[in-house]
């Protein structure tokens, strides 16, 4: 058991005023107070370093830069060493997970809302599962879609690249545009330069972009 004598601040003040304070006891209490403050400082510093490490682990593409800046200013040294009880301070990692979950839900909602303008038959969905492969069968897509291979491949890739949401393109405008393209490609009944060929070229460009790491 430690032989350190812990004197309350009021009692210590009275002893000092009366000249009754023991220098040995006073020294022990000062050393004890210093050790407590040092322990608190080390623990708080460790917690803040852990928080900064967690911040550095976050992938930039999963959390926007402005959100990362807010997290940094709120949970790291930029706010200073603020001592709080653990149960009152929200865990940094839980905040990050909440932000990432919110972003994920938003993206899923935007993708789902984009699909409202174009209904995908089950057979088309099945064929489009292979859209990332070199062996993608554009003729199967054209058959499954009722001679609308270009419309579905065009719309699918615009959605995958998030171009419709990013540029706030009305769904009706996208559908009208690609349908006009199909009409143009079919106008002269060209056996080669037709909408199937256009869909094939579109999917090939997508494959090359994907496999070369350009997107």
Integer Cα distance of 143 and 131 in angstroms: 15
Q: Which residues make Cβ contacts (< 8 Å) with residue 64, sequence separation at least 6?
A: 103
Are the beta carbons of 145 and 166 closer than 8 angstroms? no
Question: Of the listed 148, 188, 193, 206, which one is catalytic?
Answer: 193
Q: Is 188 assigned a catalytic role? A: no
Q: Provide the 8-state DSSP code for 154.
A: H
Q: Which residues make Cβ contacts (< 8 Å) with residue 202, sequence separation at least 6?
A: 150, 153, 154, 157
**Burial category of 194 from C-beta neighbours within 10 Å (exposed 0-12, middle 13-18, buried 19 and up):** buried
The residues annotated with a catalytic role in the active site are 193
């Amino acid at each position: 058991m430690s032989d350190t004598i812990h004197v309350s601040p009021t009692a210590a003040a009275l002893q000092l005023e009366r000249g009754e304070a023991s220098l040995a006891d006073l020294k022990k209490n000062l050393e004890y107070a210093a050790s407590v403050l040092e322990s608190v400082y080390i623990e708080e510093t460790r917690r803040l370093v852990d928080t900064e490490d967690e911040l550095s682990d976050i992938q930039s593409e999963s959390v926007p830069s402005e959100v990362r800046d807010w997290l940094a200013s709120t949970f790291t040294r930029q706010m200073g060493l603020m001592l709080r009880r653990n149960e009152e301070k929200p865990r940094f990692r839980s905040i990050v997970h909440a932000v990432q979950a919110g972003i994920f839900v938003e993206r899923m909602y935007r993708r789902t809302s984009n699909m409202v303008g174009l209904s995908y038959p089950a057979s088309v969905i099945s064929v489009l599962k292979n859209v990332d492969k070199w062996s993608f069968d554009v003729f199967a897509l054209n058959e499954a879609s009722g001679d609308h291979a270009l419309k579905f491949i065009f719309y699918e890739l615009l959605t995958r690249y998030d171009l419709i949401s990013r540029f706030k393109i009305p769904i009706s405008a996208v559908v009208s545009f690609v349908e006009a393209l199909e009409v143009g490609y079919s106008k002269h009944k060209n056996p080669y330069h037709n909408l199937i060929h256009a869909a094939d070229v579109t999917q090939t460009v997508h494959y090359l972009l994907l496999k070369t790491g350009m997107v």
